[in-house]
Amino acid sequence: MNSVSPSVVLNDGHIIPVLGFGTTVPDKVPKDELIKATKIAIDTGFRHFDSAYLYQIEEEVGQAIRSKIEDGTVKREDIFYTSKLWSTFHRPELVRSCLEKTLKNAQLDYVDLYIIHFPMALQPGDEIFPRDEHGKLLAEAVDLCDTWEAMEKCKDAGLAKSIGVSNFNCRQLEMILNKPGLKYKPVCNQVECHLYLNQSKMLDYCKSKDIILVSYCTLGSSRDKIWVDQKSPVLLDDPVLCAMANKYKQTPALIAIRYQLQRGIVVLIRSFNEKRIKEFMQVFEFQLASEDMKVLDGLHRNLRYNTAILMIIPIIRLLMNINMVAFARISIRRSAYAS
């Protein structure tokens, strides 16, 4: 019997496995490979699976999970399933419908964690990325606090056990945390985080607010041309990281994962290679010395692999200014009413 990933407690009392299996699929990889990889991951000891409406693969992930439930490997309560609210569903009246689509596609009764994928709303419709005639994204101003209230209702309805956010900065998190009438604060913030972008300030902030930081792109990236600058350095080829791997007689990937785990970060990783998937669980068999953690801290160079988020940051900033004005007006109105 393979060992199962350890877990940590979220601020709402639920637990989350510290090692999660990502389910994005590059165009060159058949979706059948995802089903196979997910089954292998469950057999290996993974219990945390990270998905999203955006990925358009929840049917396949759900199929893999159900097959392992049916063969007795796991029970539904053993699995921690994460999905994400896509940006075309930010209007409060649309939030639940996006989650219901996820549940229908995955054939699940609930998700363990539901998070806002991006702090930016796009115009509703059938297109994942709605654009105008010039190819520009069609964003719209939806108050994040209103979206969050709809997320809270999903939790109250039992459709999501926990709720959180992704790709938020500290200012955006503050908007939610300081929202009048806040019922549930985010349990996590999922962000790009790796040795070249160690998110130390965000990590400190999240710890101060009892919010778990979840890392994606933990091993760098899959070098997908759609999202990644092909000139960016390959993280796992870093000479300092490779030297550390030799010292501990581990792979560079395991060192990179172990580094994040020892910082208190929940780690998402992905592979379609059976040997690598099984290898990931070896990360719990060793520890990095404090002096080596400091050496790895020094690899930070503020480098993002997910260049797509860089393209939408200006739009997010514009919408944030609109949101802050709306938030101030709401606060003033509620304050006046209370007095």
Binding residue positions: 117
Alpha carbon of residue 101 to chain centroid: 19
Contacts of 246 (CB under 8 A, 6+ apart): none
Q: What is the DSSP letter of 243?
A: H
Are the C-beta atoms of 193 and 169 separated by less than 8 Å? no
Catalytic residues: 55
From residue 178, alpha-carbon distances to 46, 89, 171, 337 in Å are 35, 23, 10, 18
What residues contact residue 291 under an 8 Å CB cut-off, 6+ apart?
Answer: none
Tokens 């503050």: give the residue.
174
Other Cβ atoms within 10 Å of 244 Cβ, number? 21
The candidate with the shortest Cα–Cα distance to 74, out of 114, 39, 23, 111, is: 39
The annotation places the binding site for substrate at: 117
CA–CA gap between residue 210 and residue 187 (Å, rounded)? 8
Longest Cα–Cα distance in the chain: 65
CA distances from 125 to 134, 138, 309 (A): 18, 11, 21
Among 129, 117, 59, which Cα is nearest to 86's? Answer: 117
- CA-to-CA distance for 6 and 264, rounded, in angstroms? 12
- How far is the C-alpha of 200 from the C-alpha of 203, rounded, in Å? 5
